[in-house]
Amino acid sequence: MANYKRIFMDGYSYFLTVVTHQRNPILIENIDLLRESFRVSKTKYSYKIEAIVILPDHFHLIITPDVFTEYPKIIRAIKYHFSKYIGSCISK
């Protein structure tokens, strides 16, 4: 597991990049699942999406979380939901 150094500052926005495993180009073709993953994460954590760019194998995101220490949990929730249900989308 990587030993990331994160900066937690109240009231700030965070620019994040999330890349698929082995840069697998699955995001655009599964955009509905990705949107659902964001909706699910927003039921658990309070944050504002300031900007987002989605490409086939990664996305860039600027978020402003209400609780600044939760931005890693927000990303984990999005990735968890997407990973959990991607198999059912691919097999269709």
3-state secondary structure 39-51: HHHHHHCCEEEEE
This prediction has a pTM of: 0.87
Average pLDDT over all residues of the chain: 92
Query: Looking at the 3D structure of the chain, how many domains does it have?
Result: 1
Other beta carbons within 10 angstroms of residue 73's beta carbon come to: 15
Residue-range definition of the domain harbouring residue 37: 14-90
Residue 78 lies in a domain: yes
Count of other CB atoms within 10 angstroms of residue 44: 11
Amino acid identity at 43:
T
For residue 91, the tally of other CB atoms under 10 A from its CB is: 6
Owner of token pair 């620019």? 15
Q: Is residue 8 part of a domain?
A: no
**pLDDT at residue number 90:** 63
User: Is residue 84, in this structure, part of any structural domain at all?
Assistant: yes
Assigned domain for 86 exists:
yes
> What's the CATH code of the domain at 47?
3.30.70.1290
3-17, 28-42, 76-90: segment of lowest average pLDDT: 3-17
Tell me what the mean pLDDT of segment 67-92 comes to: 88
Residue 43 lies in a domain: yes
Q: What is the pLDDT of residue 62?
A: 97
